Amino acid sequence: MKTVDYIIVGQGVAGSCMALQLLKNNKSFVVIDDNAHKASAIAAGIYNPVVLKRFAIVWNATYQIQLLKKVFTSFEQLLNQKYLYEFPVFRIFNDENEKKTWLKKSDREDLKDFLSKDFTQLDQYNNIKQPLGTGEVEQTGRVDLTNLLPDFKDYLIENELCLDESFDYQTLQILEDKVIYKDIEAKKIIFAEGFHIKQNPWFNQLPIIGVKGEVLRVKTEANLPEAVVKAKEFLMPLGDKEYFVGATYDRDNVNYETTVAAKENLVNGLNQFLSDEIEVIDQKASIRPTVSDRRPIIGTHPKYKNLVCLNGMGTRGTMLAPVMVEELYNHLENGTNLDQESDISRFYTLLNEEL
Ligand SMILES: Cc1cc2nc3c(=O)[nH]c(=O)nc-3n(C[C@H](O)[C@H](O)[C@H](O)COP(=O)(O)OP(=O)(O)OC[C@H]3O[C@@H](n4cnc5c(N)ncnc54)[C@H](O)[C@@H]3O)c2cc1C
């Protein structure tokens, strides 16, 4: 029997950040992950402190960005690869009202460090249609999760810290002070399965709402900035004239199939602001684990205190995972209180305590 402090189910951005936190703190653990429909692997990995629909600050943004940089720099040091890219996000204005709102908000204390007042920065790019100008969000960038996650999984497997297989919920034995899974005994088990939480018999009553997203990889010879450019859709450079285009939001057809309709929507959205030819070279779909009140869900099960939930990263897993992991770790190891906004106890009445 192998004895560890923790089992982690899921090696998306949430489970990976938790594994790194445990590594840093010399805790023993095993990750179990089957790579099935990992939302984090197809996400653009953009981090952006401003909600671009209404120019509002993201919850706890300054601290989230600070910790994100620290955590993903640690991954870079551990794996000896670059994953963190800092570049601006440009938002093309749709009408004069948006421009006025942006200007007004850029004077606010919480937004002034993030919203630039210079609307002319894309003027040199003749192929980008932006008759009303473009606002720049500062302190933004991207974490290349597409490469980081498989690299980290290889590292975990090499160090005998990961089982590349599906977790079988029926096999878990829950005892008073530990859990036993096959030949592994752990003090606690942390479930970080993203939208697959719906298969988890202890946590599937939580109000995780799947929002399907489709993305494209395109190629174009256009002269474009090293930045995210966003109108209805966004375009993000990947190198070698390739770009990431995203993303759709579909709450009605929650599955992993790519569709012609989504491809057309994305291409049409792109054509609204880009006058050059594009060639679509790939299309992918996955499901965002969002929550009814737009906050993550972390903490222990009301009845089984050694079952732990780390979920609900929604549309912003890159920024949220590092802070949620820090908070959850301190709660589990040092007994600190969870922030009420992310504390699972707000949904305890939904969890079937008789399981
Ligand atoms: C199209 C799209 C674009 C996005 N773009 C961005 C973006 O630019 N920036 C951003 O911050 N966020 C973005 N997101 C959101 C982000 O992807 C999610 O918030 C985040 O990936 C959720 O991470 P997670 O670790 O909770 O889940 P996941 O990444 O889904 O990982 C869960 C893992 O658990 C494993 N698993 C589940 N059940 C089991 C089991 N029983 N046994 C073994 N393994 C299991 C799965 O195989 C998977 O590997 C995007 C999402 C989508 C769909």
* pLDDT score of 353 more than 70: no
Atom of ligand 1 nearest to the CA of 286: 53
Instruction: Kindly tell me the sign of the dihedral angle through the C-alpha atoms of 73, 76, 77, 78.
Output: positive
| Cα(86)–Cα(137) distance, integer angstroms | 12
| Cα(146)–Cα(83) distance, integer angstroms | 9
Atom of ligand 1 nearest to the CA of 14: 25
How far is ligand 1, taken at its centre, from the CA of residue 13, in Å?
7
- % of residues, the chain, pLDDT over 70: 99
ipTM over 0.85: yes
* pLDDT score of 331 more than 90: yes
Specify the pLDDT at position 217: 97
Atom of ligand 1 nearest to the CA of 41: 29
Nearest protein CA to atom 15 of ligand 1, as residue: 315
* pLDDT score of 354 more than 60: no
| Cα(44)–Cα(246) distance, integer angstroms | 8
Residue in the structure block whose two tokens are 């840093």: 24
Report the pLDDT averaged over residues 327-337: 98
Pocket residue to mutate for ligand 1, from 59, 87, 143, 318, most atoms within 8 A of Cβ: 318
What torsion do the CA atoms of 320, 324, 326, 330 make, to the nearest 10 degrees?
Answer: 170
pLDDT in tens, 43-78: 999 999 998 888 889 988 999 999 999 999 999 999
Q: Which residues line ligand 1 (CB under 6 A)?
A: 9-15, 32-36, 38-40, 42-46, 166-167, 192-194, 196, 213, 215, 246-247, 286, 288-289, 311, 313-319
What torsion do the CA atoms of 135, 140, 146, 151 make, to the nearest 10 degrees?
Answer: 160
Report the pLDDT averaged over residues 88-111: 93
pLDDT in tens, 237-290: 999 999 999 999 999 999 999 999 999 999 999 999 999 999 999 999 999 999
Beta-strand relationship, 50-51 and 56-57: antiparallel
Structure tokens at 339: 């922030």
Nearest protein CA to atom 4 of ligand 1, as residue: 43
* pLDDT score of 79 more than 90: yes
| Cα(233)–Cα(229) distance, integer angstroms | 8
**Which domains, ranges and CATH numbers included, belong to the chain?**
2-43+146-207+294-350 (3.50.50.60), 88-139+209-291 (3.30.9.10)
| Cα(13)–Cα(44) distance, integer angstroms | 12
Specify the pLDDT at position 53: 82
Structure tokens at 175: 């005892």
* pLDDT score of 219 more than 90: yes
How far is ligand 1, taken at its centre, from the CA of residue 152, in Å?
15
Nearest protein CA to atom 25 of ligand 1, as residue: 12
- % of residues, the chain, pLDDT over 90: 95
How far is ligand 1, taken at its centre, from the CA of residue 10, in Å?
9
pLDDT in tens, 129-164: 999 999 999 999 999 999 999 999 999 999 999 999
| Cα(3)–Cα(126) distance, integer angstroms | 61
Nearest protein CA to atom 6 of ligand 1, as residue: 43
How far is ligand 1, taken at its centre, from the CA of residue 98, in Å?
32
Mean pLDDT of the chain: 95
